[in-house]
Amino acid sequence: MASSPNAFSRRTLLVIDVQNDFMPGGSLAVPQGDLVIPAVNALMNQDFDVLVASRDWHPENHSSFTPYGGDWPIHCVSGTKGADFPPLLDQRRLTHIIHKGLDPACDSYSAFFDNDQRHSTGLDGLLRGLGIGHVTICGVALDFCVAATARDCSKLGFETVIKRAACRGISTDDTSCLNDLVAYGVQIDQT
């Protein structure tokens, strides 16, 4: 019988979508998104066994882009500067990078699955294979990709914590989003 993820004792930091296009001046800038970088860098120096970063890695013709009928400006096209991590993000301790949003027909907010839950990024298997039971999540945008990742993480049985000070959202009022996440069993660490 397989062990549940909570039986595992290893801890991971999951950095969500800290990419140039989501920073000020980027094509889909999150307000004050750059303010997460010092907080994320500080978290990466804490006692985590594994450090994973996700990033949008869209094809040029992604259906989420406004020219193709979507809601978002063109952003984080694979291999472009906009999809890169910002230079100030300390990447030296990252152990794994997960790419999401590769299917041109479906967006992918969560670092675990696309929005239609048709494709897995492999993150669940990676974490289970590494003996991870506790996941701390930070990054952008709190009310989209961070929240979707945290919901999936909790549903998959991992102990899930959002480090609020290392997140920024598109909305300036995150109360409803955080309440929704708590209802999913996600812990909110305000420090």
- Residues that are catalytic: 17, 100, 145
**Alpha helices per DSSP H over the chain:** 36-44, 123-129, 147-155, 175-183
Residues 6+ apart with CB under 8 A from 129: none
Exposed / middle / buried, residue 81 (Cβ in 10 Å: 0-12, 13-18, 19+):
exposed
Contact 162, 187 (CB under 8 A): yes
Return the exposure string of 29-68: e unless at least 16 CB atoms fall within 10 Å of the residue's CB, then b: bbeebbbbbebbbebbeeebebbbbbbbbbeeebebbeee
Sheet holding 187-189, edge to edge: 96-100, 50-56, 10-16, 132-140, 159-168, 187-189
